[in-house]
Chain A
Amino acid sequence: MKTRYSYGGDEHIFVEMDEEMSLDAFFKSLAMSNAARDADIDGVREICPANASFQVRYDPDVIAPEDMMAKLKELEKVAINAEKRLDTRIIEVPVFYQDPWTHDCVMRFRERHQDPSGTDLEYAARINGYPSVEAFIEAHHSAPWFVSMVGFVSGLPFLYQLAPRDKQLQVPKYLKPRTDTPKQTVGYGGCFTAIYSVRGAGGYQMFGITPMTIFDPDEKVSYLRDFMVFFKPGDVVKFKPVDRAEYDRILKAVEDGTYTPRIADVTFDLEDFNGDMEGTNAKLMEALNDV
């Protein structure tokens, strides 16, 4: 892992922990972006953490770019010693896999896909070596996921699979991005699951849909009254497959204001996880049993 610093025009500095994705790179990026926030540097306008990198937006009228750069480089030492442990939460997110709405969208944009003859799930199952779509879906929801970035558009989470690298699912993005994706689509690109918070353009493969609203600009949904965006980096997610009836029930409950997502407090320790992935995952998921 070698840290790389670059200016992004005259108002941004981009810091990349590693070219490839790993939880180590995520934790280092998180530690450095937290250190940058805690340092409260005059002229910093915003800090945007990402999967394996982060970005600082600053005002060059207040702090010279080279001074900003020097201050960030100093913080790297702090970040190396930061503990790789997070007090966070695990959230159960219901997913209706192979739903009719994303299926319709899958078929509408077939000519932009690597394999126009099948569905996104059939393609993803095949290239990841699964004998059936069902087996692939099971692999997608059996291990928990880690929110490593929030962004692209309004509160959209990128989720990284808590699994050994040889078990992690990987699929390419569409050859040409679609102009439409249903709201709350569960999609996949590279090694990341994304939940499309709003309807719009997208390039990730589409696997299913969640009935759970995750962005509400009106802040009317019962669990989004404090803030319109649901996810934050460091959240742990367990996908739960649901059928049409359950999907409809939850959708209505969200609308009626009676839905409460299943959430439990957990601690995620990177060293524990690297030492025993299955055991750590089991413990994380067990926390949901008490909810």
Chain B
Amino acid sequence: MTFEVIKPGLLTTIQDLGRPGYFHLGIPEGGAMDRASMRIANMLVGNPEDAAGLEAVFMGPELKFNHDALVAIGGAEMPVFVDGQEHDCWSSFPVKAGQTLKFGYLKTGARIYIAINGGIDTPPALGSRSTYPIGALGGFEGRALAAGDTVPVGKATAQAKERTLDRNLLAELQKPAQLRVLPGLYWHRLTEGSQKQFFADEWKVAPEADRMGYRFRGGSPMEFVEREQPFGAGSDPSNIVDGSYSYGSIQIPGGTEPIVLHRDAVSGGGYFTIGAIISADMDLIGQLQPNTPVRFTQVDMAQALDARRARAARLDKIRDALKG
């Protein structure tokens, strides 16, 4: 059971829920940027939530199926066609052997997730099929899909049947997008004025936004608390002795453009960080297009944990609605 890549889109990679455990060697967890959407797409086709599917950014691929399959699309809103017949996102639908899956123009969001019953069955690397192109690890020969690739799919599961998600169960996107931040790490390096300004300013997603990190611009440059730079850190006030980075941490090289590290994060480096996006808001970043206005909102740990619980509860409701 396979499908063939006719057109790969802009950047389409095989992803699952990632390979935790190797960040201490510089190999990031990776996996779907928008985890919830990947999970839901899998639920819609009756897969385990950690089955491997495709993540496509801004533009869908064109795929020709060599077997009868059940497919679902989650994440961004994009028209879906099977041999010209349109289907809805957030619903599973059959694709027959010989038929072609195609996409229209992106409407909202940034990344679609394509789940296929049985899951993509490329060989796992370090416990995951997620593609980490920098390390040529996982996915399809360690890289994004290209035209002509024939991708293996696993055996159909007994849970395969058509399902539709009630969209009221999904979180609503706010405008401007709100990203909640728990200040910490090297937050003390900023002056009180800059600390306030960071949250007061409206930022925009910069064009340099990918799986490794999302860059933002449009806010005020940072001012640093004066100090003599510590030995080994480097001469710029935004430099530190190279340390480990948290997923979601916000670094501001040179004090100008914040970068939020995401699933394919570098594991460490020499730039100061001002805290991290809370775990509940990481998925949302994967759906932000360049130029989207963004506000960073300050929260404390109790609020971060409340948000984490609310996200888990929402996913539980969806799980209940789609089970069976």
Q: Which of B271-302 contact A (CB under 8 A)?
A: 273, 275-279, 301
Binds A, one of B100-108, B156-164, B246-254: B246-254
Residues of chain B at interface, number, CB under 8 A: 53
Given that A14-B246, A155-B26, A156-B26 are known contacts, is A9 also in contact with B266, CB under 8 Å in the complex? no
**Is B26 a contact of A65 with CB atoms below 8 Å?**
no
Is B63 close to A, CB under 8 A? no
Q: How large is the interface on A (under 10, 10 to 19, 20 to 34, 35 or more residues)?
A: 35 or more
Residues on the B chain within 8 Å of A7, using CB? 182, 184, 301
Q: Are A52 and B241 in contact (CB under 8 A)?
A: yes
Give min CB distance, B166 to chain A, whole Å: 26
Q: Does A10 lie within 8 Å of B301, measured CB to CB?
A: yes
Q: Which residues of B contact A177 (CB under 8 A)?
A: 253
A131-184 interface (Cβ within 8 A of B):
149-156, 158, 160, 165, 170, 172-173, 177
Contacts of A220 in B (CB 8 A): none
Bound complex: CA A66 to CA B301 (Å): 10
In the complex, what's the smallest C-beta–C-beta distance from B195 to chain A, in angstroms? 15
In the bound complex, what is the Cα–Cα distance between A10 and B302 (angstroms)? 9
Is A208 an interface residue, CB under 8 A from the partner?
Answer: no
Judge whether B301 and A158 touch: CB under 8 Å: no
State whether B241 touches A20 (Cβ < 8 A).
yes
Given A158-B242, A190-B270, A9–B234 Cβ distance below 8 Å?
A: no
For residue B148, CB closer than 8 A to chain A, the reply is no
* Interface SS of chain B: mixed
Asked whether, in the complex, the Cβ of A45 is within 8 Å of the Cβ of B20, the reply is yes
Binds B, one of A54-62, A74-82, A261-269: A54-62
Q: Write out the residue numbers on chain B whose beta carbons fall within 8 Å of the beta carbon of A215.
A: 135
The answer to whether A50 touches B278, judged by C-beta atoms less than 8 angstroms apart, is no
Q: Does A250 contact B (CB under 8 A)?
A: no
Give chain B residues whose Cβ lies under 8 Å from the Cβ of A198.
134-136
**Across the interface, do A50 and B242 meet the contact criterion of CB distance under 8 Å?**
yes
Cβ contacts under 8 Å, B277 to chain A: 9
Interchain nearest-CB distance for A222 vs B (Å): 19
The reply to whether the CB of A238 lies closer than 8 angstroms to some CB of chain B is no
**Is B185 at the interface (CB under 8 A from chain A)?**
yes
- In the complex, whether A270 has a CB less than 8 A from a CB of chain B is no
B241 engages A21 (CB within 8 Å): yes
- Give Cα distance in the complex from A190 to B236, angstroms: 10
Residues of A within 8 A of B232 (CB): 20-21, 51-52, 160, 170, 190-192
Docked pose: A46 CA to B125 CA in angstroms: 18
A173 lies within 8 A of B234 (CB): yes
Q: Is A8 an interface residue (CB 8 A)?
A: yes
**B137 CB within 8 Å of chain A:** yes
Whether B27 sits at the interface, judged by CB under 8 Å, is yes
Q: How far is the CB of B319 from chain A (nearest CB, A)?
A: 16
Across the A-B interface, how many residue pairs have beta carbons closer than 8 Å? 182
Q: Say whether B308 contacts A10, CB under 8 Å.
A: yes
Complex interface: chain B residues within 8 A of A286 (CB) = none
Q: Which residues of B contact A172 (CB under 8 A)?
A: 234-236
Asked if A210 lies at the interface with its beta carbon under 8 angstroms from chain B, I say: no
Q: Is the CB of A46 within 8 A of B20?
A: yes
Contact of B136 (CB < 8 Å), options: A52, A55, A217: A217
Judge whether A22 and B304 touch: CB under 8 Å: no
Query: Which A residues are in CB contact (< 8 Å) with B268?
Result: 48, 50, 149, 151-152
CB contacts under 8 Å to B, within A12-69, are 12, 14, 16, 18-22, 45-55, 57, 60-61, 65-66
Residues of B within 8 A of A151 (CB): 23-26, 244, 266-268
Known contacts A158-B242, A190-B239: A11-B24 contact under CB 8 Å: no
In the bound complex, residues from chain B placing their C-beta under 8 Å from that of A190 are 232-234, 239, 241-242, 270
| B279 & A192 in contact (Cβ 8 Å cutoff) | no
Cα separation A44 to B277 with both chains bound (whole Å)? 20
Chain A: minimal CB distance from B257 (Å):
12
Q: Which residues of A contact B270 (CB under 8 A)?
A: 173, 189-190
Contact residue among A6, A65, A66, A165 (Cβ-Cβ distance under 8 Å from B231): A165
The reply to whether A10 and B243 contact each other, CB–CB distance below 8 Å, is no
Complex interface bits, B205-234 against A, C-beta within 8 A gives 1, otherwise 0: 000000000000000000000000011111
Contact, CB under 8 Å: B184 / A21: no
B127 at the A/B interface (Cβ < 8 Å)?
no
A197: CB under 8 A from chain B? yes
Q: Which single member of B25, B234, B253, B301 contacts A65 (CB below 8 Å)? A: B301
Instruction: Say whether A72 faces chain B, with CB atoms less than 8 Å apart.
Output: no
In the complex, A49 Cα to B23 Cα: how many Å?
10
Complex Cα–Cα for A165 and B246 (A): 30
Knowing A46-B20, A60-B308, the reply to whether A197 touches B26 (Cβ < 8 A) is yes
Does any Cβ of A come within 8 Å of B176's Cβ?
no
Q: Does B10 contact A (CB under 8 A)?
A: no
Task: Among B187, B266, B301, point to the contact of A153 (Cβ < 8 A).
Answer: B266
Residues of B within 8 A of A191 (CB): 231-232
Distance of A55 Cα from B132 Cα, bound (Å): 22
| Alpha-carbon distance between A215 and B134 when the two chains are bound, in angstroms | 11
The distance from the CB of B265 to the nearest CB of chain A, in whole angstroms, is 10
A-B complex: 3 closest residue pairs judged by Cβ atoms: A21-B232, A9-B276, A8-B246
Residues of A near any B CB (own CB < 8 A)? 6-12, 14, 16, 18-22, 45-55, 57, 60-61, 65-66, 149-156, 158, 160, 165, 170, 172-173, 177, 189-192, 197-198, 200, 215, 217, 229
Given contacts A50-B268, A190-B232, 20 further A-B contacts (CB under 8 A): A9-B278, A10-B301, A11-B279, A20-B241, A21-B231, A22-B231, A46-B23, A48-B268, A49-B24, A49-B244, A150-B25, A150-B26, A152-B266, A153-B26, A153-B266, A154-B137, A158-B242, A177-B253, A191-B231, A200-B134
